[in-house]
Amino acid sequence: MKCLMMILYCLLISTVLSLLGVFILQTMKVMGTAESDFINLPYGIAVGFNICLAFGTLPILFNLNNRVKFSPLMSGLSFFLLPFMLVLLSLLLMWDELWPGVLFALPYLSVLIIFFMRFRRGQHLKQYHQ
């Protein structure tokens, strides 16, 4: 349950940060300046990109296995391999403008790194006290 809550918190925090970032960029007239029907499209893309990254983070559930949980390499791969591959794929798909892929992925990956560090610290303390 802890791993699933980690994914949900990561999704919620990163979605709020992404929407806030899109709002700030639109108020500064950096993106979405054209008056058209697609002016709110970056909000939908930000939410959709975070949902895709959350589905890519589902291998965190492999940490329920003790062999994966106590191995820093296996645990790190379960946290980051699929999200980084999704980010690289999105960067390859948006080769003409790289900054939207980076800006939409940055909040999620930052929050995921924080949760990974907290998770590893907790596993290190549990392993140390056993």
- pLDDT of 12 higher than 90: yes
Using CA atoms, how far apart are residues 17 and 108, in angstroms rounded to an integer?
A: 9
Contact yes or no for 42/26 (Cβ under 8 A):
yes
Contact yes or no for 22/127 (Cβ under 8 A):
no
Domain locations in the chain? 2-30+39-129
- pLDDT of 17 higher than 90: yes
Q: What is the pLDDT of residues 48-87, one digit of tens each?
A: 989 999 999 999 999 888 899 888 899 999 999 999 999 8
- pLDDT of 3 higher than 80: yes
